[in-house]
Structure 1
Amino acid sequence: MRAAYRSGAHTPMPPWQVRETRFSRRGRRGVDAAEVGDFLERVADDLALLYDEVARSWEETRQIKDALHDWQSRQARSRRELVGER
C-alpha cells in the first residue's frame, strides 16, 4: 500500500475532527459503529496528547533560545569590557 500524497501545506487533522468523523455503511453488514467510535476516541486522545507534547516542546525550545541569547549577549559584553580595559 502506498502512502497518500501530501503537499507541503498539509495541515494535521485535529482531535475534534477525528471524533466527528462518520463512516457510511457498506452492504448489509456495514461496520460496527461502537468499534469505530472506540477507535476514533482512542486516536483522538492520542492526537491530543501529541499536540500537547509538541506545544510543551515549542515552549521549552523558546526558553532555551532566550537563555542562549542572554548568555551570548553577556559573553559579548564581557569580551568588549576586557578589550576596553587593556
Structure 2
Amino acid sequence: MRAGLFWLNDRQWARIEPHLPRGLTGPDRDDDRRIVSGIIHMLQSGARWRDCPREYGPYTTIYNRFNRWAKRGRWCAIFEALAKPGEDG
C-alpha cells in the first residue's frame, strides 16, 4: 500500500456497511470498502476524479458510485453514521 492513501478501518467500516445497498442485480460489484475509501480519499484531497490513485480501482467506478449514491441521498446516511458518537464516546 502506498503512503498517503486513505483506508477505512474496521470500526469505521462497521458503521458504514449497514447503509450500503444490498441485493442488487447486475454485474459483480467491486469491493465496496475499497471504493468508499477511494471516494473519501478523493473528497479529502480535492483532486480531480481522473487523478484517483489506481489502488482504489478505476476512477470511473469511484466517480460513478459517488455520483449515483449522492443522487439517492446515501451519503447523508453514511456521514451521519460516521459522525455519531461510538461506544468509546
* Same fold? TM cut 0.5: no
More helix by share: 1
The structure with the larger Rg is 1
Report the TM range for the smaller structure's normalisation.
under 0.3
TM-score by length of 1: 0.26
